[in-house]
Amino acid sequence: MRRCIKSLLVLLCATAAAHGASTGVSLPGFGGSANNSLSLPMQIVISLTLLVLLPAAIMCITPFLRIAIVLHFLRQALGTQTVPSNQVLIGLSMFLSFLIMQPVATEIYNKAYEPMDQGKLSASQAFDEGSKPLKSFLAKFVREKDVKLFVEVAKAPAPHTPEDLGLQVLIPAYILSELKAGFQIGVLLFLPFLVIDLVVASVTLSIGMVQLPPAMISAPFKILLFVLVDGWTLVVGSLVKSFY
């Protein structure tokens, strides 16, 4: 987990450092002459800003997005309201994301963070080396339609290979693709529970039992069905396998 966080942080820091190189400033720990360095308070502000951006990066460029959406849809389909709680769903999504991203994070750590920490690579070189495994991961799950959209928005030249795509195109395209995938899986999860709701509603209305809402009566049946088929293992296992 520590390597995952370091690897994601080095990408954020290296991006800012590479941008700062063109303006004559440098970030702490990323090289640069002392005369061109920012003041210490400004360095602290920039470092804290990058740390604030780290959760957004974890949510947007990892499987966290798809997993969180699917688990939310699953809870809605079961009709359990706040069970499991948001903290549990977010925690499960986060640790599954770390599990899936471990090979990518290890590669970024070995190729970018360690050489940069040892002074073998500059910030811009570390960013280039660290972005290659991330680009390879993102390119597996983006849709061509989304890539085309953001290439046109960014007014970038048409790429000949996936390696020619920049992160400014791949990341938003990946987010859109994951949103669509999450919603598609969520709809499929909803269907069997929707059938149970329809059956229970039809039976209760036919016998004239209107004292209790159908959703309250169908909830135990949906939970029982989910437990009997070992639903958590099936859903989580399918989500993890969809990234391999």
- The 10s digit of each residue's pLDDT in 159-171 is 777 777 888 888 8
Average pLDDT over residues 204-212: 75
Average pLDDT over residues 13-37: 42
Grade residue 114 by pLDDT with cuts at 50, 70 and 90.
confident
Mean pLDDT of the chain: 80
pLDDT of 24 over the 80 cut: no
pLDDT of 184 over the 90 cut: yes
The lowest-confidence range among 52-56, 68-72, 195-199 is 52-56
pLDDT of 215 over the 90 cut: no
Residue 1 confidence (pLDDT):
53
**Higher model confidence: residue 2 or residue 234?**
234
pLDDT of 30 over the 60 cut: no
Residue 47 confidence (pLDDT):
77
pLDDT of 17 over the 50 cut: no
Average pLDDT over residues 218-225: 88
Residue 116 confidence (pLDDT):
78
User: Per mean pLDDT, which of 15-29, 72-86, 178-192 is the most reliable?
Assistant: 178-192
Residue 177 confidence (pLDDT):
93
pLDDT of 80 over the 90 cut: no
Residue 16 confidence (pLDDT):
44
Residue 6 confidence (pLDDT):
54
Residue 67 confidence (pLDDT):
94
**DSSP string for residues in the chain:** -HHHHHHHHHHHHHHHHHHHHTTT---TTS---STTPPPHHHHHHHHHHHHHHHHHHHHHSSTHHHHHHHHHHHHHHHT-TTSS-HHHHHHHHHHHHHHHHHHHHHHHIIIIIHHHHTTSS-HHHHHHHHHHHHHHHHHTT--HHHHHHHHHHHTPPPPSSGGG--HHHHHHHHHHHHHHHHHHHHHHHHHHHHHHHHHHHHHHHHTT--SS-HHHHHHHHHHHHHHHTTHHHHHHHHHHHTT-
Grade residue 234 by pLDDT with cuts at 50, 70 and 90.
very high
